Chains A and B, each alone.
Chain A
Amino acid sequence: MPPDAPVAAAAIERQAPVVAPAAGRAGRLALGVAVTAIYVFLLAPVAIIVFSSFNPTEANTFPPTGFSLRWYAKFLDSAGFVAAFRFSLWLAVVAAVAATAIGFLTAHGLVRYWSRGRGILQSLAMLPMMVPHLLISISLLLALMVVPVPELAALIVGHVLICLPFAIACIVASLEGVDAQLELAALTLGASRLRALWEVVIPLVAPGLLSALLFTFMVSFGDVYIALFLSGPGRTTLPIEIFAYMQWESTPVVAAITSIQILLIIGLGLLIERLVGLRTIMRV
């Protein structure tokens, strides 16, 4: 997400929505049609995948000619896809936890201790988002040729890198909503710095930490660029497996897999809704 997103979220809370009164009926109608069309454009490719995953025929035709689960069955039969799916899950969990942990330290340091140089430092922390991921990945691959580090380590590091800006944005937004004096109050009451963090800060930024975890999970799970260069035999992520497959053929088995992925994302969205409310996710 762009670095301005937390600002955007803050703006939602600050400002009561206003509809320009002079927009005029015709203008509003035109805008309504345009916005609807944009949403159709945004959602059509995702919707079409779900439809065609239930399509019984080989060709990706629409409207579907029937209903079948054969592509899901085929996915489960494909050892390569299943292994890649599992590996992607594992990698995303590792990367999300690491990025959220480092992101918390960074966000806490930025918000509480670097009041002066914070603007520049926070922009620097967003660096992996500003640099094309292709470049990050290829440079890591090059580094592997010079410094002998296991490729898996480089893959994890690469994912942590691209996840960090998202984690930091989430947690910074969350920390800014927590009064710095609460930590001071805990100290004067006899809590150690660590204890104050554990008892006061972490519970209060828990929604931010959770959305950081979920977002970084999704970023890692959806990544292609890092894995494109850094995944090897036995360590192929799902997007790379799909990419490789799609360069040769394009059967609805891909639709089935991506539908599962979409389901996973919706599930995570609902989980956030249950736990902290969807509003929190908007803070990113």
Chain B
Amino acid sequence: MVGESARSGRLLLAPIAVLYLIALIAPISFFLVMSVFRYSALELWVPTVTGENFARLLGEPYHRAIIVRTLKIALLTTVGCLGLGYPLAWYLARTASVWRGLLMFLVIAPLMTGVIVRTYGWIVLLGSEGTVNTILRGLGLVDRPLKILHTELAVVIALVHILLPYMVFPLFAALAGQDPDLERAAHTLGAGPARTFLEVTLPLSRPGILMGSALVFTLTAGAVVTPALMGGKDVQMLGQTIYELTMSTLNWPLASAVAFVLVLCQLAILLVYFRIGRGRAA
């Protein structure tokens, strides 16, 4: 505690509180409330309560398919990030290599280059004239270029790449925070590497797994640019739907309903995170 002007010191949080309230919480609340407004071609929206947006969203097969596809891609991306992120985080947390600092930096570095740069890299790699197809044809494995770009697989690959750091860091924090003596204790008690991992390391890293998964899942669900570039028109996701509804169709109430579904998914994930993750950790 710093002295007695503590009360005035607490005002240091005033700028951020005002900023978040005006620029984050109020606008998002308003946007979400719009999901129960009626759409009007002339005035954009009419503030009368209606359920028609949700009815349309859940009733039309077109929109239902988008919701299902988004959840599917989000799930696959999360699993992919976990599959690649766990060994990486484990290695980074346990290695004695002098290169550890550099290796950590290499995980962060792609994150710093932004979504566009990395998505573009994947387009170059996965396109019909791209590197992967060139190699495959060079090896004689295929005679015609594989269609990878503009498939769900391409979207998942690029998203896993883009979101991997968000998985690695919570995992790394959970793994590096473990007392190394716990693993040693398990070894001295007769557990082999596999048993030690399953009985000690994995359960203890659970908060990291949940935190990373929650982050990746929600970030995938809200993705626009990567699906648009990697998936094209064939792989439409909720994020793109929102974008098109607000920027070209100008149906704000329906866009809001879509966003509402997105937020619900996120809240559900967070709930799971706090119920399982924190409950067990405490």
Are A and B in contact, CB atoms below 8 Å, in the complex? yes
* Residue ID in chain B nearest A18 by CB atoms: B180
Question: Does A7 sit within 8 A of B, measured CB to CB?
Answer: yes
Known: A2-B166, A11-B177, A261-B117. A105 touches B16 (CB 8 A): yes
Q: Which of B49-57, B59-67, B104-112 contacts A (4 or more CB under 8 A)?
A: B104-112
Q: How many Å lie between the Cα of A158 and that of B255 in the bound state?
A: 20
Contact B27 A143 (CB under 8 A): yes
- The answer to whether residues A139 and B27 also contact, given A22-B187, A102-B19 and a CB cut-off of 8 A, is yes
B107 cross-chain contacts in A, Cβ below 8 A: 42
Q: Is B123 an interface residue (CB 8 A)?
A: yes
A131 within 8 A of B: yes
Question: Contacts A1-B165, A20-B193, A246-B120 hold; do A269 and B105 have CB atoms under 8 A apart?
Answer: yes
Flag if B101 contacts A279 (CB, 8 Å): yes
Q: Is the CB of B259 within 8 A of A127?
A: no
Closest to B138 in A: A63
Residue of A48, A106, A143, A254 near B131 (CB, 8 A) is: A48
Q: Contacting B193 at CB < 8 Å: which of A27, A112, A164, A247? A: A27
Number of interface residues of A (CB under 8 A): 103
Interface check B192, CB cutoff 8 A: yes
B interface footprint on A1-45 (CB within 8 Å = 1, 0 otherwise): 110110110011001011111111001000100110011011111
Asked if residues A142 and B30 are in contact (CB atoms below 8 Å), the reply is yes
CA distance A143 to B220 in the complex (A): 25
Selected interface stretch from A66-74, A75-83, A202-210, A215-223: A215-223
Q: Is B254 an interface residue (CB 8 A)?
A: no
B147 is an interface residue with CB less than 8 A from chain A: no
User: Which residues of A, 252-284, contact B by the 8 Å Cβ criterion?
Assistant: 254-255, 258, 261-262, 265, 269, 278-279, 281-282, 284
Known: A2-B215, A35-B88, A247-B228. A19 touches B113 (CB 8 A): no
Note all chain A residues with C-beta closer than 8 A to B161.
41-42, 45
Closest to A6 in B: B173
Minimum C-beta distance from B24 to chain A (A): 6
Question: What is the minimal beta-carbon distance from B47 to any residue of chain A, in angstroms?
Answer: 12
A269 touches B88 (CB 8 A): no
Partner of A113, one of B2, B91, B131, B239: B2
**Are B221 and A132 in contact, with the CB atoms below 8 A?**
yes
Q: Which of A110, A135, A242 has a CB less than 8 Å from the CB of B120?
A: A242
Q: Which residues does chain B contribute within 8 Å of A121, judged by CB atoms?
A: 13
Within 8 A of A (CB), among B83-136: 84, 87-88, 90-91, 93-97, 100-118, 120-125, 127, 129-131, 134
Confirm or deny: B262 has a beta carbon within 8 angstroms of a beta carbon on chain A.
yes
A281 touches B243 (CB 8 A): no
Separation of A11 and B69 alpha carbons in the complex (Å): 38
Checking A12, A42, A61 against B106 with a beta-carbon cut-off of 8 angstroms, the contacting residue is: A42
Q: Bin chain B's interface residue count.
A: 35 or more
Q: Does B10 contact A (CB under 8 A)?
A: yes
B16–A218 touching, CB < 8 Å: no
Given the contacts A2-B166, A261-B114, A7 and B96 also touching, CB distance less than 8 Å? no
**Set of chain A residues within 8 Å of B41, measured between Cβ atoms:** none
A189 within 8 A of B: no
Are B177 and A35 touching (Cβ within 8 A)?
no
Asked if A11 and B176 make an inter-chain contact with CB atoms under 8 angstroms apart, the answer reads yes
Known pairs A62-B124, A132-B262; A2 contacts B224 (CB<8 A): no
For A23, the chain B residues whose CB sits under 8 A away are 193
Q: Which residue of B lies closest to A121 (CB)?
A: B13
In-complex Cβ contact of A160 among B19, B31, B88, B252 (8 A): B19
Q: Whole-angstrom distance between the alpha carbons of A3 and B122 in the complex?
A: 28
Q: Chain A, 150-190, contact with B by CB distance < 8 Å: what is the 0/1 string?
A: 00000001101100100000000000000010011001000
CB-CB < 8 A to A128: which residues of B?
20, 24
Query: B208: CB under 8 A from chain A?
Result: yes
Write out the residue numbers on chain A whose beta carbons fall within 8 Å of the beta carbon of B102: 278
| 10 shortest interchain CB distances as A-B pairs | A222-B114, A45-B121, A132-B222, A109-B12, A139-B27, A11-B176, A113-B9, A4-B173, A8-B173, A62-B131
What would 5 A/B residue contacts be, using CB atoms closer than 8 Å?
A8-B173, A42-B110, A49-B121, A105-B12, A265-B113
User: With contacts A15-B176, A105-B12, A158-B23 known, what are 20 further pairs, Cβ within 8 A?
Assistant: A1-B111, A18-B183, A20-B187, A22-B196, A41-B84, A43-B106, A43-B110, A45-B121, A46-B117, A48-B121, A48-B124, A102-B19, A112-B1, A113-B2, A130-B266, A136-B27, A136-B28, A142-B252, A258-B120, A265-B112
List residues of chain B with CB under 8 Å of any chain A CB: 1-3, 5-6, 9-13, 15-16, 19-20, 23-24, 26-28, 30-31, 34, 44, 84, 87-88, 90-91, 93-97, 100-118, 120-125, 127, 129-131, 134, 161, 164-166, 169-170, 172-174, 176-177, 180, 183-184, 187, 192-193, 196, 208, 211-212, 215, 218-219, 221-225, 228-229, 239, 242-243, 246-247, 252, 255, 259, 262-263, 266, 270
